[in-house]
Amino acid sequence: MLRLYGHPFSSYTWKVLIALYANGTAFEFAELGPDAEVHTKFVAAASPQGKFPVLVDGEAVVFEATAIVEHLHLHHPGPAPLLPADPAEAVQVRMWDRVFDNYVMAIMQESVAEAIRTGTLSAATRTDVEMRLDRSYAWIDHWLAGYGQPEAISLVECAAAPSLFYADWVCPIPDHYPRLKAWRAHLLALPAVSRCVEDARPYRQFFPLGAPDRD
């Protein structure tokens, strides 16, 4: 039995959960929290910075969400094509995965980190984050013109769904990026993603910038 260490409100935990749910892969969820010290200690020792999610598969311990999704693709395949069989196409999917992690999620998290650290968000940081997210939004909206937006879930959707879910809370996607707005709605309606949204709902009060009354 696979064991996934993470938290239902964590975007990178979502990334792995979406892959697991999409393929109906059996696993045990080891939720981190104040009453799960043993889980916290395990995660702290599993990677250089002790971050989650962490997957345990027999003797294998895999950290970093993208690596976990790739591990699932190799060792626990299912109906959801997490990565294409063609190596050149797989390179493109991995590139898009990095776009969502580095140019959406990581930028958004700068504002969250400041709010956690200082209790507020400075005007300078807000402006900088919004400017850079808008640039990413514009690029993705253009890219979506050639993307099929399939019902199936790949590494692209695993990365895009949580990053766009939370980024839109910090910097709402403007109406002049209609493809991106529509794709975010499409992603949140996918069963594997909507399950993550609902399981995380009880924790919304802890979002440092305040969760909007939507989604």
Cis link prior to 150 (omega < 30° from 0)? no
Instruction: Specify the 3-state DSSP secondary structure of 147.
Output: coil
Q: Taking a C-beta distance cutoff of 8 angstroms, is the pair 201, 104 a contact?
A: no
Q: Determine the distance from the C-alpha atom of residue 86 to the mean position of all C-alpha atoms in its chain, rounded to a whole number.
A: 24
Strand partners, 31: 6
Concatenated DSSP letters of 49-104: T--S-EEEETTEEEESHHHHHHHHHHHS--SS-SS-SSHHHHHHHHHHHHHHIIII
Pairing of strands 60-63, 27-31: unpaired
Quote the CA–CA distance of 42 and 167 in Å, as a whole number.
29
Instruction: State pTM to two decimals.
Output: 0.96
**Domain ranges across the chain:** 2-75, 87-190
Residues of the chain with pLDDT below 50 are none
User: Residue 150's pLDDT is what?
Assistant: 72
Q: Which CATH architecture has domain 87-190?
A: Up-down Bundle (1.20)
Q: Determine the distance from the C-alpha atom of residue 97 to the mean position of all C-alpha atoms in its chain, rounded to a whole number.
A: 10
Tokens (6 digits) for 84: 């294409």
Q: Taking a C-beta distance cutoff of 8 angstroms, is the pair 78, 154 a contact?
A: no
**176-188 residues labelled b (16+ CB within 10 A) or e (exposed):** ebebbbebbeebb
> 2-75 maps to which CATH number?
3.40.30.10
User: Residue 153's pLDDT is what?
Assistant: 95
